[in-house]
């Protein structure tokens, strides 16, 4: 990397590019991407930073899986790794276009590009025998029984009573396959968007072939792996709250502005960060800080620039 510049990995949530309350039209997606680009602009205007963007794909891949099911009688549905690749391309295109328009509007010479990114997983990961990640639409009990007559899927009932959802493996990332290419592109001055949706899960067969895996990878863990692989100076994980809390939304709620590894690990082990929201973000920060000794920040996109100056968010450090 450019010796004097700080390399920052910024992980956007899928909801930053498609609000969970929106219908998912292209107009809504483009408007969300344009707003996100403007909010990220100061980061790219800072000459002291090299920035790599990563992003989730939860809402988008959920929509794609619904399309898969609805059209299954007319068009063969695609496996999960292909769906992740499709949403990487879709989200990457929309975000790349919005970022480039923002750069051009502000007279900047930055060139942004999206890299289709594969992430290596271990085919013997325990996640493949303990399916836990819900994906796709909700089904009735009768619908799940019909599907199970045709497919070897696993379902779990939603705790809130919304129905049943398919659950799939969510293995841990082992290595970002295109890490060196991403590094080279950043060194050449490109603004790179990568590891979309946690990356396309792949494994290496005995024949030394790259093969897709029917799974999804947590995008925060994949972003942390990229940050570790590239020895990034900071990992920034964006979410919909300004910082981490213990006793979240309870009368004794406490903001966590600054945590060392021991404190963060203790709160994590005590279950203060739920598996469906803040848990993976804190775990990703722990892994990055533990591996590199550098700082991780968890905050909202609205507070991003303040957080980089130490004025907002949660900082996790050694």
133 is catalytic: yes
Single out the catalytic residue among 15, 101, 110, 305: 15
Helix (H, G, I), strand (E, B) or coil at 154: strand
Helix (H, G, I), strand (E, B) or coil at 151: coil
For residues 291 and 200, what is the distance between their CA atoms, to the nearest angstrom? 23
Single out the catalytic residue among 57, 62, 92, 133: 133
281 is catalytic: yes
Single out the catalytic residue among 56, 63, 281, 313: 281
Single out the catalytic residue among 58, 63, 198, 219: 219
For residues 4 and 49, what is the distance between their CA atoms, to the nearest angstrom? 9
CB 183 within 8 A of CB 41: no
CB 32 within 8 A of CB 19: yes
For residues 311 and 242, what is the distance between their CA atoms, to the nearest angstrom? 11
151 is catalytic: no
Single out the catalytic residue among 13, 14, 196, 199: 14
CA distances from 279 to 161, 248, 268, 297 (A): 23, 12, 7, 14
List the catalytic residues. Answer: 14-15, 133, 219, 281
């Amino acid at each position: 990397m450019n010796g004097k510049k700080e390399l920052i990995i910024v992980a956007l949530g899928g909801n930053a590019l498609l609000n969970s309350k929106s219908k998912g039209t292209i107009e809504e997606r483009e408007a969300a991407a344009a707003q996100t680009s403007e909010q990220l602009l100061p980061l790219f205007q800072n000459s002291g930073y090299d920035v790599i963007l990563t992003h989730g794909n939860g809402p988008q891949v959920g929509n794609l899986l619904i399309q898969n099911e609805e059209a299954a009688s007319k068009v063969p549905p695609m496996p999960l790794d292909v769906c992740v690749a499709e949403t990487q391309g879709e989200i990457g295109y929309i975000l790349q276009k919005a970022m480039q328009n923002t750069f051009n509007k502000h007279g900047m010479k930055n060139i942004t590009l999206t890299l289709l990114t594969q992430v290596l997983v271990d085919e013997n990961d325990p996640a493949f025998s303990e399916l836990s990640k819900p994906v796709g639409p909700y089904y009735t009990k009768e619908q799940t029984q019909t599907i199970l007559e045709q497919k070897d899927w696993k379902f779990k009932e939603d705790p809130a009573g919304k129905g049943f959802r398919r659950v799939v493996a969510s293995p841990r990332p082992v290595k970002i396959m295109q890490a060196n290419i991403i590094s080279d592109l950043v060194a050449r001055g490109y603004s790179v968007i990568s590891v979309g949706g946690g990356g396309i899960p792949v494994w290496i067969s005995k024949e030394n072939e790259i093969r897709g895996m029917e799974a999804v990878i947590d995008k925060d863990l994949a972003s942390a792996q990229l940050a570790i692989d590239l020895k990034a100076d900071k990992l920034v994980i964006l979410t919909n709250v300004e910082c981490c809390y213990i006793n979240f939304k309870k009368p004794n709620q406490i903001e966590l502005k600054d945590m060392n590894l021991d404190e963060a690990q203790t709160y994590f082990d005590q279950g203060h960060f739920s598996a469906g929201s803040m848990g993976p973000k804190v775990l990703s920060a722990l892994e990055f800080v533990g591996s590199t000794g550098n700082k991780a920040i968890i905050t909202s996109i609205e507070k991003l620039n303040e957080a980089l100056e130490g004025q907002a968010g949660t900082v996790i450090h050694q």
